Amino acid sequence: MASWPTPVVVSFATQDDKRWSTPLGYGQVYQLINRRRFEQMAVLEGQNILITISGRKRRIRVYYLSWLKQKILRTEGCVSGAPAEKRNGWVNVGDLQGAIHFKIVRYERIKFLVVGMENSIEIYAWAPKPYHKFMSFKSFGSLSHLPLIVDLTVEENARLKVLYGSHEGFHAIDLDSAAIYDVYTPSNSCENTALRCRPRDNFVMTLQQVLY
């Protein structure tokens, strides 16, 4: 990241916090956000933001990179005595709770944020300054299938469609007509599988059918 004090910054999250690892201080790890679980994250450096699904309520929360950067510099003592950034370091996108997956898609000069929820798909568009935030664009509720993964595609250089996957297959939503249809659904019902270790032998792995 060019805006950071080092040429390479690695961002990662544990179950309970958010950390950055940088070559500054020979690979020192900085704990920036405590006691918050992170499910997914993506960086938009041009917009100075880090987008996350985080917290017990799985909100879409946006952190400002400049705010995170200042926390690293203060840890290193590079800006001791300097006033802290006054604005809040983060903001929630809408009042969304229960987010499952999001995808950032750029179409022409617009950046879209597509969010799969427990029973809906929400689409936001990035509004540049003076707003400098994601604003609601489209919403599709009462879906027959729970979205597990979402994406946005452009057909014929103009027609926008949401693609999403569920336990039952793959589906699409036409943004112009709001029509929802199946792209692919397997003819045979599928069962989840999970890898399990036998207690008597840690090196033996077996496939066990997990029914739900």
Greater pLDDT, 115 or 69? 115
| Residue 190 pLDDT grade (very low, low, confident, very high; cuts 50, 70, 90) | low
pLDDT tens string 66-97: 998 888 787 555 544 444 444 678 999 999 99
| Residue 148 pLDDT grade (very low, low, confident, very high; cuts 50, 70, 90) | very high
- pLDDT value of position 153: 92
- pLDDT value of position 174: 95
CA distances to 4, 15, 42, 210 from 77, rounded to whole Å, are 15, 28, 28, 52
- pLDDT value of position 145: 92
pTM: 0.74
For residue 73, give the H/E element and its range: helix 65-76
Q: What is the mean pLDDT of the chain?
A: 78
One-letter amino acid of 118? E
E strands, the chain, in order: 10-13, 18-21, 29-33, 38-44, 49-54, 59-64, 90-92, 101-107, 110-116, 120-127, 133-141, 149-155, 159-166, 169-174, 180-184, 192-198, 201-210
* Neighbouring C-beta atoms of residue 34, cutoff 10 Å: 8
Highest mean pLDDT among 7-21, 65-79, 165-179: 165-179
Sheet (strand 110-116) strand order: 101-107, 110-116, 120-127, 133-141
